[in-house]
Amino acid sequence: MDTGDHSGRRPRAGSPPFAGLAGRLGMRSDRSTETPTWGPLTWFAVAVVAVELVGLQGYRLLTGQVLTFVQNPLWLLRPLVLLGAALATESLYRRYDRALARSNIEARVDDPSQFDGLVPDRLVWLLVALGTGFTLVNAVVILTVPQLYDAGGATRVFRFLVVTPFGYVPVLAAFLATYVAVEVLLPRRIAAADVTLDYLDPEQLGGMRPVGELVKLAYYYLMVGLVAYAVATYGPHILTGALGYSALDAPGLAVNAAFTAVWVLSVGIMAYGIYVLHQHMARQKRELLYDLDRRTRDHVDAPWDIRSFDALNPPSEYRRYRKQVEFVTGTKEYPATFTMWTQLVVGVMMPKTLQLLLAAV
């Protein structure tokens, strides 16, 4: 087994995006405990929601306009998703630290610092740049400012030009980057660092259950977002007239195809991460079994002749190695129990099933 720095050092996930700014403002995220706390990303999301709900809706009220959520109650899912994305991101950072600690990663690799920092900053800022650019082009070039003003006045223009690109995009980009880091980058780090499996794990998961739980949790957070998006997209059409407001036309084929593409992509990313973990665990098992088999045969005369082998009274070293082989062969090649697999299957099917049901109404 590889050994590294045993000085008590724990790999850390790092800080969620905007932590540096939050530190200068006196805000801290306490990830040293398992008690959920509001970190800088969540406070940023709260500020955005305050601008949108208090500032913009207050302006509509003062100017005699109908409040947006009165026209469409499902619009309130928008700020809820933003807050949920921020809370989910910071939760994944805490759970990452917890998974590394419970898996005892620092004792199973040569260099635990390979696991410092969950999400590369460049990935976050790349997604922020792409999201900001897309939303601004959509508002200015495709929808155009005059059309936005005609549809909802100054508040709609401000929301499309300021709140969405500079408020929603950074938070959602941080969540998506964290999702990719958990589902793709973490499994690849584990494989690249050649993390030794724990063959004495009583659950026979090689000590990888905390990592498997983290992968499942990240997908579940994304699944909740997909479900909320499906309700917000198809709900207004279904509720037309029920609450006294006008809804958009029923989402067409393009919306259905886009939702399916996002769903397939999110599931595919998770499946890739699980596959990488499986390949790592299977390779380690095979290599160790080959090594133990070679060592076992070194203590047996004529190892390829079973007829000359005294099975009732084998050498003591042979019995020792064979017992080790039992522990290795009993270790599973996936970081999940049957219950975890069942939960994942349900989570995978739920968004698409809900979307099909809503589309059929």
Q: Is the entire prediction scored with pTM above 0.85?
A: yes
Looking at every residue in the chain, the average pLDDT score rounds to 85
Q: Using CB atoms within 10 A of its CB, is residue 186 exposed (0-12), middle (13-18) or buried (19+)?
A: buried
pLDDT at 130: 95
Q: What digits encode the pLDDT tens for the residues 150-196? A: 888 899 999 999 999 999 999 999 999 999 999 999 999 999 999 99
Cα(150)–Cα(182) distance, integer angstroms: 43
CB atoms within 10 A of CB 157: 19
DSSP 107-144: GTSS-GGGGS-SS-HHHHHHHHHHHHHHHHHIIIIII-
Residue 15 banded pLDDT, cuts 50, 70, 90: low
Helix (H) or strand (E) holding 93: helix 77-102
**Mean pLDDT for the stretch of residues 251-274:** 90
Which ranges in 159-185 belong to alpha helices (H)? 169-180
Tokens of 85: 């994305």
**Do residues 251 and 359 make contact, with C-beta atoms less than 8 angstroms apart?**
yes
pLDDT at 72: 77
Mean pLDDT lowest among 28-37, 54-63, 328-337:
28-37
Nearest to residue 256, comparing CAs of 131, 136, 354, 180? 354
Phi then psi dihedrals of residue 13, to 5 deg: -75, -20
